[in-house]
Structure 1
Amino acid sequence: MTDELDRMFAEFHGEISRLQGLQHEIEEIRGRGAAAEGRIVAETTMTGALAALTIDPRAMRLGSGELAEAILAAATAAAQDAADRARALMEPFTPDELR
């Protein structure tokens, strides 16, 4: 009986460690998205917060409205990329019926 409990405890401890590692990996996720033919590149965190924005000087030729739309498109693509990356990391922990 003790051997079985020890085995179960070790298995439980291993799962907790794996979940803690997953949490850390998810916190580190950064999604990338581009727009305006790659002249605008956005990077977001898992929560969708903008973490980085690169604007190629050639993008400055766009009008202000077009530039704003391109920035939003890049940020949206980056947030989707981050969500996709998180989903891929969580897949091994997700029951089949929820996939």
Structure 2
Amino acid sequence: MGVRGLLNYVLRHRERGTTLKVDLVQEAQACGRHGITLLVDVVDFAAWLLPQVDWSTKEYQSDATISVYGGEFAQHDEVVSTIVLSLRAAGVHLDFFVDTPR
């Protein structure tokens, strides 16, 4: 499903209009009561999520760094739930997919 090198291309050529920043909440409100749905690559989401979990843990304990990723299920649940439910409340729904390597 993915296009090899697409992200690198977009990042290299963003000044030529290959990216567009939008206010997702505003877009969701413009679409009515059903909002909008974003397709999210779960592998990239997980790679982004791990530092978020570490950051949120440091909020509770000043020098607490999670040393082994993958076992802190309560923190993962809290962060993912907060993200997904906050977006859903604003009318932004996430559909996750797995783009496996060939």
Q: Greater relative contact order: 1 or 2 (C-alpha under 8 angstroms, separation 6 or more)?
A: 2
Q: TM-score of the superposition, structure 1-length normalised?
A: 0.30
Q: Which has the higher strand share?
A: 1
**Structure number having the greater helix percentage:** 1
Instruction: Please tell me whether Structure 1 or Structure 2 has the larger radius of gyration of its CA atoms.
Output: 1
